[in-house]
Amino acid sequence: MRLYVGNLPFRTTSEDLRATFSRFGEVSSAEVLSDRETGRSRGFGFVEMADDAAREAIEALDGSDLAGRRIVVNESRPMAPRPPRQGGGGGNRYRDRN
């Protein structure tokens, strides 16, 4: 099961996340997402583990304190498809001025 973990302290690493969740069972992956441009944590991540262990982790950790922040832990849901980006209206604003 893939879990969403939100409201993480910005200094939390993927290894910290793995250690926190490994108390409940084997963690197959743990990743804190970071901003592409700055490299700074985005304050959330994902953990993958067996279903039973994941349910136990949700029960124990959702709303718990991690380094002074109340974290959110729930089953990850697929991202909703985003509508395609529309053109930016890059026309010439000086054209056709009468």
pLDDT over 60 (residue 98) = no
Q: What is the CA radius of gyration of the chain?
A: 20
Long-range pairs for 8-13: beta carbons < 8 A, 24 or more residues apart: 8/32, 8/41, 8/43, 8/44, 8/45, 8/66, 8/69, 8/71, 9/43, 9/66, 9/67, 9/68, 9/69, 10/40, 10/41, 10/43, 11/41, 11/67, 12/41, 12/45, 12/66, 12/67
Which of left, alpha, beta for 22 (phi over 0: left; psi -120 to 50: alpha)?
Answer: alpha
Q: What residues does each domain of the chain span? A: 2-75
CATH number of this structure's domain 2-75, picked from the four choices 3.30.70.330, 1.10.260.30, 3.40.1050.10, 3.40.50.2300: 3.30.70.330
Look at residue 57 in the predicted model and tell me its pLDDT: 98
Q: Which two tokens stand for residue 82?
A: 């985003």
What gap in Å lies between CA 21 and CA 57, rounded to an integer? 7
pLDDT over 90 (residue 78) = no
Look at residue 80 in the predicted model and tell me its pLDDT: 75
Overall residue count recorded for the chain in this entry: 98
Range scoring the smallest mean pLDDT among 3-17, 42-56, 68-82: 68-82
